[in-house]
Amino acid sequence: MFKKNFIFLCLFFISIFSFAQKSKLTDHPKLVVGLVIDQMRWDYLYRYYDLYSANGFKRLLDKGFSCENTLVPYVPTYTAPGHSCIYTGSVPAISGIVGNNWYDAETNKNVYCTEDSTVKSVGSNSNQGKMSPQNLLTTTIGDELHFSNNFSSKVIGIALKDRASILPAGHTANGAYWYDDSIGKWITSTYYKDQLPAWVIKENEKLLPDAAMSKDWNTIMPLEKYTQGTTDNENYEHAIIGEKTVTFPHRISKITTSKYEAFKYTPFANTYTFDMAKQAIDSEKLGMRNVTDLLAVSISSTDYIGHSFGPNSIEIEDTYLRLDIDIANFLQYLDSKLGEGNYLLFLTADHGVAHIPAYLKEHKVPAATYSDEALAVELNNMIGKNFNIKNAVKAVENNQVYIDNNEIQSAGKNVTQIENAIVDFLKTKPFIVNAFSTENLETQSVQVTIKQMLINGYNRKRSGQIAFLIKPGYIGWSDMGTTHGMWNPYDAHIPLLWYGYHVKPGKTNREVYMTDITPTISAILRIQMPNGSIGKVIEEVTR
């Protein structure tokens, strides 16, 4: 009898202890952390897996939930549309963020996605702070979080790139901070605050970019152990600003002109961003009040380095090994500050990247480059010759042609006739698969997946009148380095990892989309999804 009672008491106390442990977890995540790795291809998760530590990417993969087949559902696959989509659950057709730049017919000028002439820089005398989310037409998850609790939550965005900080943070953000490469410091705009918070000033006083640029960039492993890509001296790689070679060690300590701009092209700028994120959590007490806060962090140097050296370079491999260490340190920091399981973190990317065409050609894969600027000149020459109109084409960008309807009509010409002439001309180019009017996308003979991506990316007031599709492996770029922007899997297949609050380990290979991220967070937080959201909840994450 005594033995039975003893066992019963032991089980009772074990259950009480277990309940006490579980009760430490809040009934809502203390903090939602969005970690967007700019230009991260999905395959980087596994390409370097054996080299990652146990506590970075591997921790997220092994202890979190991975959506292995996450796709961007629109074109063009650029930074601004990507960051907007992640945090709005919307697409460019609705959010209005159709690219990093677009031509505006009403003002007859090119528009940058976050430019705002009505605000001023804070923390700098440059124009790099004249930015706001005014061009974003929808709410973000941060905005909806504010609406849900009468603005008790705090929402902050941090990134080297202004667009990667501002667009995720949304219209009602408590702060958005980005890097001014003319002075090597964090800044903001008067849209948010009239002066930098004391903690940001203290962060700037550390002069971390100066410290990083006083040393050289060497590989963290012996050079011969980098076996996942090309050799270290490829003539199709682009040197860091201020350098003349593309090989290790990168003598960044010798760079004097544009030093702070060159800093962005090093993995040390990723560490710098994480340090800023930690300071935001500490100083703003994010996740330390009885309410859910949101921190949107974007890691931008992966994109700068990727554009210059490509996805098969030793530079990008070394960058991801260093990023793995940064992520491990950040997760350890979150554990110590908030407690493991009390925060919800998701990791994703705004887009992927194409192989450098010269690399593909080395391996007998069709590929080449072309120039948007040269194409615009050719089109205007053709229109001038055939219709006697000068500068009818205002821009070729986002794989679209922007034409000046007013110029054409004032010349007494038929707009549709000139659009047809442009389409016919584009179809003669060897790198273009198809071209068509964007007004009639539904009726075009285009593969159904690509057609839907085109429709999702088309906004009548901000997109061009003509769209064109290029061959796989072909990019609008120079002969050195690479870019992104297309529908192809190398640009549109991104990682999506969930970790922390109530997330059970596992993975799914079913298709999910970038637009599904925000609805899933909304479901977890039990708040309304943003007003332009078209995504669906990823139920495997919420169960």
Calculate the alpha carbon distances from 511 to 52, 71, 79, 508, 515 in Å: 26, 7, 22, 8, 12
Q: How far is CA 94 from the centre of its chain?
A: 18
- Determine if the peptide bond prior to 530 is cis (ω within 30°): no
Angle between the 268-284 and 301-309 helix axes, to the nearest 10 degrees?
A: 170
Calculate the alpha carbon distances from 513 to 64, 137, 299, 538 in Å: 18, 21, 21, 9
Token pair 């000139």 is at which residue?
A: 418
Q: Which helix (H) or strand (E) holds 384?
A: helix 372-387
Q: Is 302 a catalytic residue?
A: no
The answer for residues whose C-beta is within 8 angstroms of residue 354's C-beta and 6 or more apart is 473, 475, 482, 483, 484, 486, 488, 490, 491
Kind of pairing between the strands at 185-189 and 474-476: unpaired
Angle between the 268-284 and 198-205 helix axes, to the nearest 10 degrees?
A: 150
Q: Which helix (H) or strand (E) holds 437?
A: strand 432-437
Catalytically annotated residue among 70, 79, 138, 139: 79
**Other CB atoms closer than 10 Å to residue 203's CB: what's the count?**
22
Kind of pairing between the strands at 506-513 and 65-71: parallel
Closest CA to 303 of 356, 261, 275, 266: 266
* Helix locations, 294-344, DSSP H: 301-309, 314-338
Type of residue at 27: D
Separation between Cα atoms, residue 348 and residue 86, nearest integer Å: 9
Phi (first) and psi of residue 176, to 5 degrees = -140, 130
Closest CA to 304 of 296, 316, 314: 316
In the numeric block, which tokens belong to residue 23? 């009760």
In the numeric block, which tokens belong to residue 496? 């999506």
176 DSSP β-pair partners: 157
In the numeric block, which tokens belong to residue 395? 């821009």
Phi (first) and psi of residue 8, to 5 degrees = -60, -45
- Please tell me the chain's helix, strand, coil percentages from 3-state DSSP, rounded to the nearest 5: 40, 20, 40
The answer for residues whose C-beta is within 8 angstroms of residue 81's C-beta and 6 or more apart is 74, 91, 92, 95, 97, 98, 99, 350, 457
**Which DSSP state fits 99?**
S
Could you tell me if 301 and 267 are in contact, meaning their C-beta atoms sit under 8 angstroms apart? yes
In the numeric block, which tokens belong to residue 8? 């019963």
Closest CA to 270 of 214, 326, 334: 326
Residues labelled as active-site residues: 79
